[in-house]
Amino acid sequence: MVRYIAGRLVALVAILFAVTIVTFALAQLSSADPAVQLAGDFPPEEVVQQLRKELGLDKPVPVQYALYVKGLLHGDFGRSYFSKQPISSELPDRIGATFELATAALAFSILIGIPIGIAAAVYRNSPVDHFGRFLALFGTAVPVFFLGLLMVRLFYTELGVLPASGRYSLEIPPPPTVTHSVIVDSVLAGDWRMLRSAMTHLVLPSLTLGLFGAGVIARVMRASMLDILNHDYIVMARVKGLTFRRIVLVHALRNAMLPALTVIGLTYGALLGGAVLTETVFSWPGLGLYGVRALTYLDFPAVMAVVILITFAYVVMNLVVDILYGVLDPRVRAGMNA
């Protein structure tokens, strides 16, 4: 398995390298001059030329790319055209916000999708199955932005029980930054008032985002469980007199989880990449909202940083899923060790 993981890590580096080439090439094709954008409105020509020299824009394109990759290896994504600040200093809080949102959304997806998928398969063609399929179709078919607006109207405007935007109440001073996750930092600081505020602000956006993932997971889980329940070893377990609950939760669920695990991993990778619409509706200051702003202002260094981070999240989650495959299925583990 060690050799397999090493091979996947090499592939991860190769994919990231390819992404840097593509994003850098697209930025070069833009008509926007980074030096002019950084210099501000109506800059003197000597200021523009000085900036071009500082940024290395006066060098050949291959040399510029080499300098860009060198900066990436040192954690330097360049300077934002919009804020004029180093992108590396802007990303940690954004990544922390998206990590919180994606993790909570995935938790909702799993807690809702897997039980519904199992119940729909066990009670096939029953009212439980019909309800599960309806909920799965609803979660995947309804646009996220529309569902988010419905959530805001119901829980904020009508009921007034949950906040509609932001990461936490601005009336509460934020905890000392350690992990860039407000929830984790609140726990570390023992700031339970901030923790409560952050958790309540997280409910609506994560539930909105999680319902989409729950629909996908429920559909995959139902199909997988239906297939597993028809296998010979399940029939043999019934003949041996094992309880139906043990057959479903112990023997069938372990193998049925493999296809669902792929969906869960890919869903989490997508969520970590930034749920643009959800973050926009709820004004959640994550990576998706940061990418939208960067595109709006043609802030190509920021856009390139977001794309690289999204790619990294996808590839890492695929690697984690493959490793978990080996843990759950001995046949996959034997293939990894071959």
Q: Is the pLDDT of residue 180 over 80?
A: yes
Alpha carbon distance 3, 335 (integer Å): 11
Alpha carbon distance 117, 123 (integer Å): 10
Start-to-end C-alpha separation, the chain: 8
Q: What is the pLDDT of residue 195?
A: 92
Flag whether 96 is in a domain: yes
Chain Cα centroid distance, residue 37:
31
Q: Is the pLDDT of residue 241 over 80?
A: no
Q: Residue 270 is part of which domain span?
A: 88-168+204-337
Q: Is the pLDDT of residue 335 over 60?
A: no
Flag whether 178 is in a domain: no
> What pLDDT, in 10s, does the model give residues 69-95?
888 888 888 888 778 788 888 889 888
Q: What percentage of the chain has pLDDT greater than the value 90?
A: 9
Q: Is the pLDDT of residue 275 over 80?
A: no
Q: What is the pLDDT of residue 336?
A: 56
Q: Please state whether the predicted TM-score (pTM) of the whole model is above 0.75.
A: yes
Closest CA to 312 of 6, 1, 7, 19: 19
Judged by average pLDDT, the poorest of 18-27, 177-186, 265-274 is: 265-274
Flag whether 11 is in a domain: no
Judged by average pLDDT, the poorest of 4-13, 149-158, 222-231 is: 4-13
Alpha carbon distance 47, 53 (integer Å): 10
Q: Is the pLDDT of residue 188 over 60?
A: yes
Flag whether 113 is in a domain: yes
Closest CA to 286 of 78, 122, 100: 100
> What pLDDT, in 10s, does the model give residues 8-64?
788 888 888 888 888 888 777 776 667 776 777 677 878 778 877 777 777 888 888
Number of domains the chain is built from: 1
Flag whether 26 is in a domain: no
Mean pLDDT of 311-323: 80
Flag whether 7 is in a domain: no
Closest CA to 56 of 70, 47, 67: 67
Q: For position 269, which CATH number holds?
A: 1.10.3720.10
Flag whether 127 is in a domain: yes
Alpha carbon distance 252, 292 (integer Å): 43
What is the chain's mean pLDDT, rounded? 82
Q: What one-letter code names the amino acid at 230?
A: N
What is the three-state SS of 301-327?
A: HHHHHHHHHHHHHHHHHHHHHHHHHHH
Flag whether 9 is in a domain: no
Please count the CA atoms within 13 angstroms of the CA of 261 that sit on its side-chain side: 18
